[in-house]
Amino acid sequence: MKASVKNVFDKRKASLNSVATISILLSAVALSGCGSSSSSDANDTTTPAPAAEGTAEYVSDNNELKGDFEENVTLVAGNTYKIAGEVNFREGTTLTIPAGTTLYGLTQSSYLAINAGATIDADGTESDPIIFTSAADVAGTSSRDAQGEWGGLTIIGKAPIIGGTVTYEAGDQVGGGSDAADNSGTLDYVIIKHTGFEVEEDKELNGLSLLAVGSGTTISNVAVLGGADDGIELWGGTVNLENVYVYNAGDDSIDTDLGYTGTVTNAVVRQKVVDKTNYDSSGIENGNDSDSYTSVGGTAGVGSEANQATMPTFKNVTVESVGGAIYLKNDAGARFDNVRVTVKPSAVNGQDDTAGQAIVTHRTTDTVD
């Protein structure tokens, strides 16, 4: 038996030696080659195709968000990323932005949209906030009060809104539904600067646009600084905002429409822009954009509070305004709990209201069925 095993081993060893010899000979042939062609073959490398837009690989390779994303993306803390054109995160995706990260719009029309069913996890800290800003600001050529240098941040959810579902006024994204507790993610310690772009007349991008965003979404410690249109606009939805600062909005600092019923707590707005009608640019504006009372979900109704479409609560809010402070349209209402208003009279030509008259403007000219 031992001799038999040894014979098998010796035969296997001989076989392996033969394979090794053949391998060495083949290597020698390859190295000797046939002139210059072998050298070319040895140095031939194929350049990999660039990553496709709308993928995590593209973001990693280019430090740029571009296109429509159908997959999750996690940014790197401390890095700076471009927002190129209209960027969408589609349903089922999550954009994760760690503390200390900066994102900036390449052009005036560049903006970031978190679509219905997608989420954003932008979790900054007091010492390392997340910053959304403009290319000019990153380049150091912007000013403190600059407006309209890029689009802004848009979040769309599936919470109730007048009409059931609504198309975003500045794009083709659709939001709305029946889930009042819908969760679109988190914004915490976020600064949004120098926003606002008019896509077409009466269709503008705001600093922070919230369409049908549900109460499962967390929005806190957010500053919106300088915007060519509204600082924050909410169309429908139930999301609550806490610890908010809006400075130098070109239109309204906080604008609520189409059945928004959430609560804004601990907010300071400083409205610097005024106009001759006193109220079109206000610290707070509430309306439905329909000149009619309509309940959330689309059923018409008049008189009862439950059927009054837009009914936000403002708690612990300070409004400092030149011109109009609070503008209530006849198709909306509001609850005020510890709201302090300071108004300076407007110097705009044609502005006749005194500071006292400008505290609250209640529009009473709507046609209501």
Q: What pLDDT digit, counting tens, does each position of 32-46 carry?
A: 344 444 455 556 677
pLDDT for the residue numbered 25: 33
pLDDT for the residue numbered 328: 85
Mean pLDDT of the chain: 83
Point out the least confidently predicted range of 85-89, 99-103, 299-303.
299-303
pLDDT for the residue numbered 350: 61
pLDDT for the residue numbered 197: 87
- Confidence at 332, pLDDT banded by 50, 70, 90: confident
pLDDT for the residue numbered 256: 95
Report the chain's C-alpha Rg in angstroms.
30
More confident site: 353 or 340? 340
Cβ-based neighbours of 5, under 8 Å, separated by 6 or more: none
Average pLDDT over residues 115-143: 97
**H or E element in which residue 245 lies:** strand 240-249
pLDDT tens digits, 69-90: 999 999 999 999 999 999 999 9
- Confidence at 50, pLDDT banded by 50, 70, 90: very high
Q: Would you say residue 297 has pLDDT above 50?
A: no
As a dihedral over the C-alpha atoms of residue 281, residue 228, residue 248, residue 77, rounded to 10 degrees, the angle is 140
- Paired strand residues for 190: 130, 222
pLDDT for the residue numbered 143: 94
More confident site: 295 or 64? 64
- Confidence at 19, pLDDT banded by 50, 70, 90: very low
Count of H-run helices and E-run strands, the chain:
4, 25
Average pLDDT over residues 1-18: 44
More confident site: 41 or 333? 333
Kindly tell me the sign of the dihedral angle through the C-alpha atoms of 73, 77, 82, 85.
Answer: positive
**H or E element in which residue 56 lies:** helix 56-62
- Confidence at 294, pLDDT banded by 50, 70, 90: low
- pTM check: above 0.95: no
Q: Would you say residue 4 has pLDDT above 80?
A: no
Query: CA 91, CA 269: separation in Å to the nearest integer?
Result: 33
Query: CA 113, CA 173: separation in Å to the nearest integer?
Result: 8
More confident site: 277 or 58? 58
pLDDT for the residue numbered 74: 98
Q: Would you say residue 27 has pLDDT above 90?
A: no
| Residues 211 and 203: beta-carbon distance below 8 Å | no
> ∠144-228-224 over CA atoms, to 5°?
55
More confident site: 1 or 333? 333
From residue 356, give the alpha-carbon distance in Å to each of 59, 326, 361: 52, 12, 10
- Confidence at 274, pLDDT banded by 50, 70, 90: low
More confident site: 31 or 359? 359
pLDDT for the residue numbered 115: 98
| Residues 83 and 61: beta-carbon distance below 8 Å | no
Q: Would you say residue 301 has pLDDT above 80?
A: no
pLDDT for the residue numbered 359: 80
